């Protein structure tokens, strides 16, 4: 399963701007919900990339990643700046999931 960049939308599909942590947690919840609806668990996402709107949130992203992805085998790659993200979001993760065999 591949999820392209997922902006931190709320359950109604709107983008409520917030702090970096609020947006990051909402984006992570969206990816988790998509994975669950597709029959995957969070431990089955061997590849997660975190795109940032700017390097000003690099430290926040580095603190956020290990809390959201505690399994070292699933920890996302180093976040990187992608420039302007849709809707003015601060973060946009994307993930690939695969069933373990």
Q: Is 42 a member of any domain?
A: yes
CA distance 7 to 23: 8
Domain-located, residue 68: yes
* Beta-carbon-side half-sphere exposure of residue 14 (alpha carbons within 13 Å): 4
Read off the tokens for 5.
């960049």
Please give the residue range of the domain that contains residue 39: 2-96
CATH code of the domain containing 53: 3.30.1330.40
* The two structure tokens encoding residue 80: 């990187």
* Phi and psi at residue 2, to the nearest 5°: -125, 130
The domain total for the chain is 1
CB 32 within 8 A of CB 45: no
- Show Cβ contacts of residue 34 under 8 Å, excluding neighbours closer than 6 positions: 1, 3, 6
| pLDDT of the residue at 28 | 86
Does residue 92 sit within a domain? yes
101 occurs within a structural domain: no
Q: What is the mean pLDDT of residues 72-85?
A: 76
pTM of the model: 0.81
5-42: per-residue pLDDT in tens?
Answer: 888 999 899 999 899 999 999 998 888 888 889 888 76
């Amino acid at each position: 399963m591949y999820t392209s960049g997922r902006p931190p939308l709320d359950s109604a599909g709107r983008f409520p701007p917030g702090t970096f942590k609020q947006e990051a947690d909402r984006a992570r919840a969206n990816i988790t919900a998509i994975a669950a609806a597709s029959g995957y668990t969070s431990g089955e996402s061997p590849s997660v990339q975190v795109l940032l709107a700017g390097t000003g949130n690099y430290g926040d992203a580095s603190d956020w990643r290990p809390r959201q992805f505690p399994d070292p085998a699933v920890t996302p790659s180093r976040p990187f700046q992608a420039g302007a993200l849709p809707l003015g979001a601060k973060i946009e993760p994307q993930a690939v999931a695969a069933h373990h065999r």
